[in-house]
Amino acid sequence: MKRTYSFHKGHNSSAFTIVELLIVVVIIGILAAIVVVAYNGVQKQAADSAVRSDLAQFAKKLELYKAQNGRYPTNATQLEAADIKLNRSNYSLTNTNGTARNNVYYIITNSAHPDGAGSHYAVGTVPKNALTGTICIKDGTIFVASCSSGDATRLLISAASSTDVELAKTDTSWPSTGYSSENGWAAWTE
């Protein structure tokens, strides 16, 4: 039994197979995922840096105010006089559930503190789209800690004078919030 084979001259198949197409689609999907993750990371780093820059300027303005007045600003009017600027787009105006929230807390020692009124300060912030959930300042030092509420920020400076939480709250004042859920942006943030 003799087998015969026939070949068609001029027939070249240049189409992709389904497997080849699927491999290309998977590779493109993986590359797109890597790009999206990297882009989001860069955006979050930029937001984090912007808040840290705001806080560094905030600290410098407060130190200048203290050098001129012998203490840190003790009310919103004095904060406004300190000429503090914040990039408002860097700070969250809502909680994760969408309700309005306060976002920049300025706390100072009052006369009940052993070092006196206006001798120490803390700032707590709630950045928007940053790497960290909160960024704080305590007497000029910027760091990441739990300072997403007024009470948490207050404890940053009062803990040195008292270990009792309720007593520690009495030696500090909460003179201002950058954005208040009831009053909008404070004048000193402009």
- pLDDT tens by residue, 162-171: 556 666 667 7
Q: Please report which confidence band the pLDDT of residue 156 belongs to, taking 50, 70 and 90 as the band edges.
A: confident
Angle at 171 between CA 94 and CA 100, to 5 degrees: 10
Comparison of pLDDT for 128 and 41, the residue scoring more:
128
Question: Does the structure show a pLDDT above 70 at 31?
Answer: yes
Question: Does the structure show a pLDDT above 60 at 135?
Answer: yes
Q: In the prediction, which pLDDT does 189 show?
A: 81
Amino acid identity of residue 22, one-letter, is L
- pLDDT tens by residue, 1-28: 566 655 555 556 677 889 889 999 999 9
* Global confidence as pTM: 0.73
The mean pLDDT value for 97-107 works out to 87
Percentage of the chain beyond pLDDT 70 is 85
Q: In the prediction, which pLDDT does 45 show?
A: 83
Average pLDDT, the chain: 82
Decide: 134 and 127 in contact? Cβ < 8 Å. yes
Phi and psi based region of residue 144 (left: phi greater than 0; alpha: psi -120 to 50; beta: remaining): beta
